Amino acid sequence: MTDDSNNTAVLPAEQLRDAVDALRQTVTTLLEGEASLTTYETAINSHDALLDQLAMHSLDAPTLAALERIEQFITLHAGTYYQTAIAKLDENRKIVLSHCLRDGYSPWMA
């Protein structure tokens, strides 16, 4: 789709609005501290979808910079989320092992 008056590509407003809204919703969820694996996956997928749509219509530098900052925010917080999840898993593993040993069971007794 092109604008005949200046021969430039016209952005599909409704699709872009939906993509921006999806990204806004997931980033808002992350900012509110409601992080989950699904939220991070949705956030990065929304980001990528918006980036792909804008890239088809010649992305300008300020928009690209803003999307890069959003991507950095998502990946930084996802890394923290995974580190926390691994630490909790390790702690739970230690608790289970200590209970097994206390009760006379060994993980090597199979």
| Predicted local distance difference test score (pLDDT) of residue 1 | 46
pLDDT of residue 110: 52
pLDDT at 106 over 80: no
Give the chain's mean pLDDT.
81
State both tokens at 96. 């289970």
The arithmetic mean of pLDDT across residues 79-104, rounded, is 79
CA distance 38 to 41: 5
Q: pLDDT band for position 8 (50/70/90)?
A: very low
22 is written with which tokens?
């999806």
Spatial distance between the Cα atoms of 63 and 32, rounded to a whole number of angstroms: 24
Tell me the CA end-to-end span of the chain in Å, nearest whole number.
Answer: 67
